[in-house]
Amino acid sequence: MTDMPDNPKAAVILLSGGLDSMVVAALAREQGYAVHALSVDYGQRHRRELQSARDIGRRLGVTRHVELPLDLRQFGGSALTDDIAVPKSGVDDDAIPVTYVPARNLVFLALTTAFAEASGAGDIFIGVNALDYSGYPDCRPAYLKAFEQLADLATKAGVEDQGRFKIQAPLIYMSKAEIIQTGVELGVDYSLTHSCYDPAEDGGACGDCDSCRLRRKGFEEAGVVDPTRYADNINF
Which of these, 109, 89, 110, 108, lies nearest to 98 by C-alpha position?
Answer: 89
Write down the pLDDT at residue 5.
42
Spatial separation of the C-alpha atoms in residues 74 and 48, rounded to whole Å: 20
- Read off the pTM: 0.92
Alpha helices for 140-175 (secondary structure H): 141-154, 156-160
Instruction: Indicate whether 134 pLDDT > 80.
Output: no
Crossing angle for the helix pair 19-30 and 176-185, to the nearest 10 degrees: 40
Instruction: Indicate whether 74 pLDDT > 90.
Output: yes
Q: Which SS3 state, helix, strand or coil, does residue 115 take?
A: helix
| CATH annotation of 10-222 | 3.40.50.620
Spatial separation of the C-alpha atoms in residues 235 and 233, rounded to whole Å: 7
Write down the pLDDT at residue 6.
42
Confidence of residue 173 (pLDDT cuts 50, 70, 90): very high
Task: Supply the mean pLDDT for the chain.
Answer: 90
**What backbone phi and psi angles, to 5 degrees, belong to 223?**
70, 30
Q: Where are the domains of the chain?
A: 10-222
Tell me how crowded residue 213 is: count the other CB atoms within 10 A of its CB: 17
**What backbone phi and psi angles, to 5 degrees, belong to 181?**
-60, -40
Above pLDDT 90, what percent of the chain? Answer: 75
Write down the pLDDT at residue 7.
47
Q: How far apart are the first and last CA of the chain?
A: 32
For range 39-47, the mean pLDDT: 91
CA torsion angle 89 95 99 104 (round to 10): 160
**51, burial (CB in 10 Å: exposed 0-12, middle 13-18, buried 19+):** middle
Confidence of residue 121 (pLDDT cuts 50, 70, 90): very high
Strand order in the sheet with 10-14: 64-69, 34-41, 10-14, 123-125, 166-168
Write down the pLDDT at residue 217.
94
**What backbone phi and psi angles, to 5 degrees, belong to 115?**
-65, -40
* Region of 128 on the Ramachandran plot (φ > 0 left; ψ -120 to 50 alpha; else beta): beta
Confidence of residue 149 (pLDDT cuts 50, 70, 90): very high
Spatial separation of the C-alpha atoms in residues 10 and 230, rounded to whole Å: 36
Instruction: Indicate whether 93 pLDDT > 70.
Output: no
Length of the chain: 236
